[in-house]
Chain A
Amino acid sequence: MPFLLYTGISAYVPLFLLIIAGIGLGFLLANLSVILGPSRPGIKKGLTYESGMDPVGTGHERFSVKFYLVAMLFILFDIEVVFMYPWAVQFRQLTQEFGMFPFWEMITFVLILFVGYIYMYKKGGLRWA
């Protein structure tokens, strides 16, 4: 099997080299801008970056757990779409080869996630109060 020629840890040497080059380049560029760039510090420049807003209060504020919920829901549906894209791109080819099977497979996948969505909706996951 020719595949075996590329196994073993030696096959990963280029990867290690890439990692080292990546880290090295990062360090180099970050430090180059410090060395070569002009440095005129001011109060405004020293402030914490808050997308142009004035930073008010501490950074360790409590915030609602709902934020996590939204983030989690986003990830859930994001991942659903991540699976759907390659499926959609290949759909025509897949149906030619396997008939309607790929369609029902995706329907099953979406249905399982849909049950999760109904559950979340009925349990009040989207109710802000």
Chain B
Amino acid sequence: MNSFPFSIAELALSSQYVLPLLILLGAGLLLMLLDAFGAAKFLPWVAGAAFLLSAGVAWTQGAPAGRLAFFGMMETGGIAPIVHAFLCLSGLLTLFFLSDYLDRHDRHISDVYALLVFAVLGMSLMANAHDLIMTFIGLETMSMCLYIFAALFKTELKSNEAGLKYFLLGSFASAFLLYGIALIYGITGTTNFSLLASPERIEIIQSQQTVFYVGAGMLLVGLLFKVSAFPFHFWTPDVYEGTPTPLAGFMATGSKMATFVALGTLMHQLDMFQNTKLLSVVGLASLLTMIYGNIVASRQQNIKRMLAYSSIAHSGYVLLGLCASQSGMEAMLFYMFIYTLMNIGAFGMLGMVEHDYPDTELENWRGMGQKAPLFAVAFSLFLFSLAGIPPLAGFMGKYEIFIAVIREGLLLPAIVGILASIVGVYYYLRVIVVMFFSKSGETSALLPSASRIPLAGAAILVVLVLVLGIFPSLILNPITQALSGLSQATAVLP
């Protein structure tokens, strides 16, 4: 039973394939050393350069699907390079807002840059894994960094609460995932995606359905937790609330994108689209997530909590897209890319105003439109985009998702999703109303940061959200191209 024999040549080739990951690893170690020897000033720039270089190498390195590295452990062709580039981008965009936020809070925590690089490394490992063990290692690498992000301001109560909650619940979910992997390994004798989809394994799975369903269900629990889907969403608002705001934006985008790609790949490899039992579990979770996220978000009085609940709702849309087979994968990647832009924008700009925790209360934002008009307009643009109002990118993302779902014949879930997203419009617009149409005389005591770097980041994101709303094919075409090689799973499960 050795489908991937060991050889030095293969190892050397693999090292070339994973060059973008090695760049990140090297950069992370370099950041640690620079930090240790007191060169904290250059850290954001080094991290940014590493993200750019790694994304660039990955983007130019595109290859047909099925180019496996390290004896079938990693996928480095197909969508892998594009996913890697997207994840690097989410790290890079976070950097724009991060150092200014930390400076204004007078917490010069320079370790965070190395952690950000390692978090992206873990995300990429998980998203592009071709083996369940690799999925787990990637997920843990990512989660360890996110736990620290949640508890970054260690003297603050909120941050402590966030860190502890995320750590305890996250480890619990990881245990579920690991147990699911163990059960699947128990019946099939392999953790490799290709081998799991081979006819012999399919036969075994068919004869051991109970164990398989328990195992696959536990895998789903572990992954759905990370994307904060409905029954496993409880940690999300509290954790995002206590996490430094730009990093909360990073947690809501990068880690979710990586988990969605891992989930989508797994669903393809286990051919869940023929296996309606597991697919309907994902579908049901997505419906409940959309409804719950949107309704609860509309009751929030704090913008940060509102954005946290809205990120639950957005997970619901993406999960629904995942139920729509191949075209769903495409819509999911496109949506997550758009979501990365607008959500990092929204969280980042929220962080630009925040000096103290109550600064994110909706009440305190009255009259922001008069006081800082340009800032308020840009922030509104991200909210409009999150709400899915046309000519903005968020609309194209939602359009792609729902059209993929409708083409697959899932009409009812699509209708529920569209109705739920209409509820979403209410709470995004409420923030805009508070900012622009409050009674005269009421002006916000808050003033956004005037630092240049976060302003530049916000400007770049505004341009991207506008341009991609009008020319979505700029991103959609490369995704379609990369996905065209995605191998259909070989056989049909029970």
Contact = CB atoms under 8 A, between A and B. Distances in A.
Given A7-B188, A9-B187, A115-B29, A1 B36 contact: no
Interface residues of B, number: 19
Q: Determine the main DSSP class of B at the interface with A.
A: helix
B207 to A, nearest CB: 7
A34 to B, nearest CB: 34
B356 interface: no
Nearest to B29: A115
Contacts of B29: 112, 115
Contacts of B466: none
A22 to B, nearest CB: 19
Given A1-B200, A101-B8, A9 B33 contact: no
Contacts of B1: 1, 3
A4 B200 contact: yes
B35 interface: yes
Contacts of B186: 9, 12
A7 B32 contact: no
A83 to B, nearest CB: 15
B189 interface: yes
B204 to A, nearest CB: 6
Q: Which of A98, A112, A119 has the most CB of B within 10 A?
A: A119
Interface in B58-91: none
Contacts of B25: 112
Given A115-B29, A119-B32, A7 B37 contact: no
Interface residues of A, number: 19
B207 A118 contact: no
B154 to A, nearest CB: 10
A123 B36 contact: yes
A4 B204 contact: yes
Nearest to B210: A9
Interface string B1-34: 1000000100100000000000001000100110
B454 to A, nearest CB: 27
A45 B261 CA distance: 59
A8 interface: yes
A7 B189 contact: yes
A55 interface: no
B207 A8 contact: yes
Contacts of B204: 4, 7-8
A122 B111 CA distance: 12
Given A4-B204, A8-B204, A101-B8, A115 B33 contact: yes
A117 B36 CA distance: 10
Contacts of A85: none
B37 to A, nearest CB: 7
A26 interface: no
Interface in A101-129: 101, 112, 115-116, 118-119, 121-123
Contacts of A115: 29, 32-33
A7 B37 CA distance: 53
A67 interface: no
Interface string B198-229: 00100010011001000000000000000000
In the A-B complex, the 10 residue pairs with the closest CB atoms: A122-B36, A7-B189, A3-B1, A119-B32, A119-B36, A115-B29, A9-B211, A9-B187, A8-B187, A8-B208
Given A9-B211, A101-B8, A119-B32, 8 more contacts: A3-B189, A4-B200, A8-B187, A9-B187, A115-B32, A118-B36, A119-B33, A121-B36
